Chains A and B, each alone.
Chain A
């Protein structure tokens, strides 16, 4: 009997210490979190979090119940949001927003591909939320760029890259939404030829063979 009590005591103290440590850790974690619930539905709408544990909230997670919607984070704690995370319906991180000038205005979005790779970078050059430049990546290298340089809603400039060097520059100079002029470059950066599709039938002809450099 005495032996049984001794064994129980021997087990009791370490287990108690473990439980107390876990509770303390849980309390510490909870103190870094501040949930907000919808007053009508009771659904969780926001989790404010002190990511680095320095006593200052720096990450705001927007939720719809258990579903993660988006995150706004001030990773360098300069009081300006510098990272926006957007999650898909499956709860996966779909794209990340960034501020080119670190002034709290999101103007660039890195979009995630199906394998988790960088698929494209979208930029709003006027920082108004309208994307007018999209860089497409393949195997972590720039593959092509599409741009709406006059911001009429239609792409008017296409750049195709091979081995990180511009290979084709195509332009829509007649606001038709399709390229009508192409500059074809060699691998060393010199110009090979200029082609034009003046009638818009999709067939390009060289305009000035031999002009290069």
Chain B
């Protein structure tokens, strides 16, 4: 019984020291990185994000954003990185600006991965619970879906011309041809 306990204790000690051993073998792991993934006006929830060294290109870490699009990487070695945001299909949809962990800079916060709203919507990253907001009249995504299908100015000028407002000539409706 005592032998089993001591065996378990040794195993626990080894397990606990594993990160230190790993750190020693991989170099300094001193930093942490946190940030936010978003598209347009909204966070990208539950998306896979990867930490990529731009020095030698190695993949340093990966994690998943929370419901609010927040992500964090811990125990990051010194170096210069970008964060990549991955679609459910495995495609990279966007990257952060590069940032550096070195010397006294052991934490980088506020890293933003802004991806194209149209690409995010096409990849299905903004569906589900946020669909209601997507289709809300006046909402950013609603207006961005087909930005040129209606030209309000042409409508107003046509209405003004038809109702005899002085100083107006009807504008050509140039949007219909493009649809």
Instruction: Find out whether the CB atom of A43 lies under 8 angstroms from the CB atom of B167.
Output: yes
Within 8 Å CB of B117, what residues of A?
121
Sample 12 A-B pairs with CB under 8 A, ordered by A number: A29-B159, A61-B152, A66-B169, A68-B153, A75-B138, A76-B136, A117-B178, A142-B118, A149-B98, A164-B119, A165-B92, A171-B82
Of the candidates B116, B164, B167, the one whose C-beta lies within 8 Å of that of A37 is: B167
B-side residues, CB < 8 A to A, are: 40-41, 52, 54-59, 80, 82, 84, 86-87, 90-95, 97-98, 114, 116-119, 122-123, 136-140, 143-144, 147-148, 151-157, 159-160, 162-169, 171-172, 174-175, 177-179
Instruction: Find out whether the CB atom of A26 lies under 8 angstroms from the CB atom of B163.
Output: yes
Of the candidates A78, A145, A169, the one whose C-beta lies within 8 Å of that of B138 is: A78
- The tally of residues in A whose CB lies under 8 Å from a CB in B reads 82
In whole angstroms, how far apart are the Cα atoms of A181 and B54 in the complex? 8
- Residue A10 at the chain B interface, CB threshold 8 Å: no
Instruction: Find out whether the CB atom of B114 lies under 8 angstroms from the CB atom of A125.
Output: yes
Instruction: Find out whether the CB atom of A142 lies under 8 angstroms from the CB atom of B119.
Output: yes
Within 8 Å CB of B86, what residues of A?
189
The listed residue with most A CB atoms (<10 A of its CB), out of B40, B138, B174, B179, is B138
Binary flags per residue of A171-186, CB closer than 8 Å to B gives 1, else 0 = 1010000000101010
Instruction: Find out whether the CB atom of A30 lies under 8 angstroms from the CB atom of B163.
Output: yes
Binary flags per residue of A88-129, CB closer than 8 Å to B gives 1, else 0 = 000111001011111000001010100111100101010000
